[in-house]
Amino acid sequence: MASGRVIGVDLGGTKLLAGTVDSSLHVHHRAHRPAGVSSLAELLDTIVDAVREAREAGGGDVDAVGFGIPSLIDQERGVAVSTVHLPIRDLPFRDLMAERLGLPVFVDNDATAAMLAEWRFGAATDCTDALLLTIGTGIGGGMVAGGALLRGAQGAAAEFGHMTIDFDGPLCPCGSHGCLEAFVSGTALAREARALGLELTAAQVAELAHDGHAGARALVTEMGSRLGTGLANLVNAFNPEVIVVGGGVLALGDLLLEPAREEVARRALAPSRDLVRIVPTRFGAESGMLGAAVMAFEGVAA
118 belongs to a structural domain:
no
257: enclosing H helix or E strand: helix 254-267
pTM of the model: 0.92
- pLDDT over 90 at 25, yes or no: yes
DSSP 269: P
- Domains of the chain: total: 2
- pLDDT over 90 at 136, yes or no: no
257 belongs to a structural domain:
yes
Structural domain boundaries enclosing 209: 127-281
User: Sorting pLDDT into bands at 50, 70 and 90, what band is 84?
Assistant: confident
Residues 277 and 143 in one domain: yes
Residues 73 and 147 in one domain: no
24 belongs to a structural domain:
yes
122 belongs to a structural domain:
no
Residues 270 and 296 in one domain: no
Q: How far is the C-alpha of 99 from the C-alpha of 101, rounded, in Å?
A: 6
- List, in sequence order, every residue forming a beta bridge with 27; answer none if it has no partner: 21
Average pLDDT over residues 201-213: 94
- Exposure string of 69-87, with b = 16+ CB inside 10 Å and e = fewer, is bbbbbbeeebbbbebbbbe
CATH assignment at residue 53: 3.30.420.40
120 belongs to a structural domain:
no
121 — phi, psi (to 5°)?
A: -135, 0
Residues 145 and 275 in one domain: yes
